[in-house]
Amino acid sequence: MLFWHLPSKQGTYHDNFGIMSGRTDFTNVKSVLITNILFKMKDRHSKSASYDSDEDLDLVRDTITVEHESGFNRYYEALEILGTGLASTVRKCTEKSSGKMYAVKIVDISTEKQSAYEATRLREETLSEIEILKRCSDHQSIIEMHDFFETPTFLFAVFELAPMGELFDLLNKSVRLSEKKVRNIMTQLFDGVAYLHSLNIVHRDLKLENILCITESRVVISDFGFAKQLKKGELLRDLFGTPGYLAPETLKCQMYEDHPGYSLEVDNWALGVIMYTMLAGHAPFYHRKQLIMMRMIQEGKFEFLKDQWENVSVHAKDLISNLLVVDVEKRLTAEKALEHPFMTFEGTLKRRKSLRYGVVEEIIPPKKPKNLRQLFRVAILAAKFLHRIQNGSLFKTSYTKEELRKRPYRSKAIWLEAEAATFAIYGHWVNRGFFYSRDMLFANKPKPKMVRV
């Protein structure tokens, strides 16, 4: 039997043992596509880490500056908790000298709740992540590491604060994003990944949860726990990443001993998954059964369903199709993606240049044509709704215009009518894909023009 345990909301593969999210599956090994994949817990604080030799560990150890035990508390004040992991806590903190707000990741390397071996491994993994960040965090699209301290029992990594949260949370609120917003985000992601690849660094865990929103117009790449500094021509075989974002070659090199391995191209595939998800509101490769999902990934099988993609430009779909290519030789690189027609609207290139100099400005690309059919449909529903309000057929109790303006959902009839209209326009979001719920339709903020209607 092959055992998969799925504890986290998304789940991540780590090396040669597996944990993904949602449930526990027991599958006969003979029917498993990936016969030799055993997955390990995502949390970067797991026992196993990938180091070529003990010399690599010594190199990491020597390149990190170790501060006095009270260093962090001397310069910073820790505030409320933002998140927790198996062996780490992220808190908001303030710098005492400047009053600026930051986020600090506090990693517990004591031996109270873990063995000495686990504590040592955890320390080395964290120091490896810090060392990679030191090489690349000067880029505008990569999270900035502001400070680092080490004590005998804790590591403190101070990062810039992301007040807007994860891109995953933004998409949950909006369901799907406009092409303008997606273009803005992808410009920064392509630019950041191109920079990483120029340094021969592969991230290996690009996903919505690891993209942080600093402001409404600026995002950064974070979580370098699985990142790897590659040597010239080096290929990797170990399994790192999150199920729906894994590239075909990552899975295949676990199945076939003669597979050469994977390299930087896995990040470009993940960018294609991210872009598809932002425009469609769901991932391109997803299925209740993990094995079917993995088969879909290996074959590169995804589709642009008409009811979801009819209003999306041809250029956007073409860019995604060139990123989600199984053949790594034909897959678009992050650098080339920046030159794709979808990305080269006037103003977008201007933004790319400004990113390299550390300047972020709002870009307003040309407006895309409106969907006249949908606008006409909305107008009909609005007219019917207003007519029923005016003739009083909706109400058993009379309300003044001022009362309805302040508390429109005071009347159950209005609430039901609004729900029916919402489903008439956006119902396919709920019907398409088992993981959607009715709540998604009503968790979003209405557009101002719809409020006026």
Query: Is 70 in the same domain as 203?
Result: no
Q: What per-residue confidence (pLDDT) applies to 144?
A: 95
The answer to whether position 44 is within a domain reads no
How many domains in the chain?
3
Alpha-carbon gap, residue 225 to 43, rounded angstroms: 8
Alpha-carbon gap, residue 419 to 411, rounded angstroms: 13
Alpha-carbon gap, residue 244 to 351, rounded angstroms: 30
Q: What per-residue confidence (pLDDT) applies to 453?
A: 32
The answer to whether position 412 is within a domain reads yes
The answer to whether position 259 is within a domain reads yes
Q: What per-residue confidence (pLDDT) applies to 41?
A: 31
Alpha-carbon gap, residue 328 to 332, rounded angstroms: 8
Answer whether residue 56 shows pLDDT above 70.
Answer: no
Alpha-carbon gap, residue 397 to 241, rounded angstroms: 57
Q: What per-residue confidence (pLDDT) applies to 374?
A: 74
Going by their DSSP bridges, the two strands 24-27 and 2-5 should be labelled as antiparallel
Query: Is 247 in the same domain as 231?
Result: yes
Query: Is 187 in the same domain as 215?
Result: yes
CA angle 161, 446, 184 (to 5 degrees): 45
Query: Is 148 in the same domain as 124?
Result: yes
Closest CA to 85 of 109, 105, 60: 105
Query: Is 241 in the same domain as 321?
Result: yes
Average pLDDT over residues 248-253: 93
Percent of the chain at pLDDT exceeding 70: 68
Query: Is 65 in the same domain as 118?
Result: yes
CA angle 37, 283, 339 (to 5 degrees): 105
Alpha-carbon gap, residue 168 to 150, rounded angstroms: 31
| Tens digit of each residue's pLDDT (9 = 90 or more) over 18-38 | 333 333 333 333 333 333 333
The answer to whether position 436 is within a domain reads yes
Residue with the bigger pLDDT between 211 and 364: it is: 211
Q: What per-residue confidence (pLDDT) applies to 61?
A: 40
| Tens digit of each residue's pLDDT (9 = 90 or more) over 276-328 | 999 999 999 988 888 899 999 999 999 999 888 988 999 999 999 999 999 99
State which of 160, 178, 199 marks the end of a domain. 160
The answer to whether position 302 is within a domain reads yes
**Banded pLDDT at 43 (limits 50, 70, 90):** very low
| Tens digit of each residue's pLDDT (9 = 90 or more) over 397-453 | 666 777 767 776 666 777 777 777 776 766 655 444 434 444 555 554 444 433 333
Q: Can you give the residue range of the structural domain that contains 404? A: 372-452
Per-residue CA distances from 111 to 76, 115, 270 (Å): 25, 6, 36
| Range scoring the smallest mean pLDDT among 268-272, 370-374, 377-381, 444-448 | 444-448
Name the one residue in this structure whose structure tokens are 């962090």.
72
H, E, C per residue of the chain: CEEEECCCCCEEEECCEEEECCCEEEECHHHCCCCCCCCCCCCCCCCCCCCCCHHHHHHHHHHCCCCCCCHHHHHEEEEEEEEECCCEEEEEEEECCCCCEEEEEEEECCCCCCCHHHHHHHHHHHHHHHHHHHHHCCCCCECCEEEEEECCCEEEEEEECCCCCEHHHHHHHHCCCCHHHHHHHHHHHHHHHHHHHHCCEECCCCCHHHEEECCCCCEEECCCCCCEECCCCCCECCCEECHHHCCHHHHHHHHCCCCCCECCHHHHHHHHHHHHHHHHCCCCCCCCCHHHHHHHHHHCCCCCCHHHHCCCCHHHHHHHHHHCCCCCCCCCCHHHHCCCCCCCCCCHHHHHHHHHCCCCCCCCCCCCCCCHHHHHHHHHHHHHHHHHHHCCCCCCCCCCHHHHHHCHHHCHHHHHHHHHHHHHHHHHHHHCCCCCCCHHHHCCCCCHHHHHC
Going by their DSSP bridges, the two strands 76-84 and 24-27 should be labelled as unpaired
Q: What per-residue confidence (pLDDT) applies to 63?
A: 37
Q: Are 290 and 319 in contact (CB under 8 A)?
A: no
The answer to whether position 41 is within a domain reads no
Supply 118's token pair. 């686990």
Query: Is 197 in the same domain as 134?
Result: no
With both helix axes pointing from N to C terminus, report the angle between 265-280 and 314-323 in degrees, rounded to the nearest 10. 150
Query: Is 120 in the same domain as 202?
Result: no
Q: What per-residue confidence (pLDDT) applies to 62?
A: 41
Q: What per-residue confidence (pLDDT) applies to 355?
A: 55
Closest CA to 262 of 241, 240, 242, 237: 237
Average pLDDT over residues 56-85: 67
Torsion over CA: 319, 320, 321, 325 (sign): positive
The answer to whether position 9 is within a domain reads no
Query: Is 138 in the same domain as 171?
Result: no
The answer to whether position 20 is within a domain reads no
Answer whether residue 85 shows pLDDT above 90.
Answer: no
Per-residue CA distances from 370 to 167, 176, 304, 318, 433 (Å): 26, 17, 20, 20, 26
List the CATH number of the domain containing 83.
3.30.200.20
Percent of the chain at pLDDT exceeding 90: 50
State which of 144, 160, 176 marks the end of a domain. 160
State which of 103, 126, 160 marks the end of a domain. 160
Q: Are 394 and 417 in contact (CB under 8 A)?
A: yes
Average pLDDT over residues 115-131: 94
Query: Is 118 in the same domain as 87?
Result: yes
Average pLDDT over residues 64-72: 53
Query: Is 391 in the same domain as 409?
Result: yes
Catalytic positions: 205
Which amino acid is residue 114, in one-letter code?
Q
Answer whether residue 210 shows pLDDT above 70.
Answer: yes
| Tens digit of each residue's pLDDT (9 = 90 or more) over 112-122 | 888 999 999 99
Give me the chain's average pLDDT, please: 77
Residue with the bigger pLDDT between 395 and 40: it is: 395
Query: Is 155 in the same domain as 172?
Result: no
List the CATH number of the domain containing 309.
1.10.510.10
